[in-house]
Amino acid sequence: MDYEALLGKKRYYQKHKNALSDFIVQNYEQAFEIEYTHNSTAIEGNTLSLIETKLLLEDKVSIGGKNLREIYEVVNHNKAYRYIKECIGKRELLDENRVKDIHMILMENIMPGGIYRNVDVYISGARHTPPSPNEAYQRIKNFYAALPYKTGMNAVELAAWTHAEFVKIHPFVDGNGRTSRLIMNYQLMVNGFLPISIAKEKRLDYYDVLDRYAVDGDLGPFAEFIATLEEKKLDFYIEAIEKSKTR
């Protein structure tokens, strides 16, 4: 990862983003919310298509033939993403209360949220088995303690570690993947980077680099995976900025 080059692009975006009209920014952000919600829920098995997600969130059209859980998963994810943007707007750093709030929003009308598991869980297809409930509780406490003081990491690595370590602990019975992707974006955004969406078509690559951290403790491949997505997102906005300057 060429972090200095990534920082340069971030600085350019921050300096020139006002060249984009409010209409364009709102349009981009709205499109991202729909894409992100679709991808993050689809990775976990939700069957709503991208257009169905748009109809539900943007046009408020009910989707026939889908069970209520899938509908709530999509609606709740969108609420949770807006919640983290609200928190960042207030300059609130990520902590245990924020994470529990995010999980409660994700699980609304599905199951009680924000409650750590008291049962063993297994991840289908993964080489890693999450820790027992007692060990998971201690690890999640250590995770929160490390969040503000994690040294030797740049902002992208910290975001990647936040996701990878959280999902490795798997503190909740359900919703860990969605929560981890939200708190990863929380860390990116609070450090001035753009939020990213992991395409459902890339889920095998995504699971592979996550598994390498869970089993071998190697964060590098996952951090590189996230940095590549961040760079693409910055490039998209920089290109839009350049086009707006020539008009």
Among 38, 103, 163, 170, the active-site one is 170
> Which of 155, 29, 40, 39 lies closest to 102, judged by CA?
40
Average pLDDT in the chain: 95
Q: Contact at 8 Å (CB) between 136 and 172?
A: no
Dihedral, 8, 11, 15, 16 alpha carbons, nearest 10: 60
Taking only the tens place, the pLDDT of each residue in 199-211 is 999 999 999 999 9
CA atoms of 55 and 71, how far apart (whole Å): 11
pLDDT band at 151 (very low <50, low <70, confident <90, very high): confident
Mean pLDDT confidence for 14-20: 95
- Catalytic-residue membership of 170: yes
pLDDT value for 177: 97
Angle, alpha carbons 232-238-241 (nearest 5°)? 150
Res 145 pLDDT > 80: yes
> pLDDT of 80-107, one tens digit each?
999 999 999 999 999 999 999 999 999 9
Buried/exposed code over 35-68 (b: 16+ C-beta within 10 A; e: otherwise): ebbbbbbbbbebebeeebbbbbbeeeeeeeebee
Q: What is the DSSP string of 3-34?
A: HHHHHHHHHHHHHHGGGS-HHHHHHHHHHHHH
What is the residue extent of each domain of the chain? 3-246
The CATH number that domain 3-246 falls under is: 1.10.3290.10
Over residues 113-137, the mean pLDDT reads 90
Residue range 58-62: mean pLDDT, rounded: 89
Rounded Cα distance between 64 and 67, Å, is 8
Q: Give the per-residue pLDDT at 247.
A: 65
Cβ(49)–Cβ(148) under 8 Å?
no
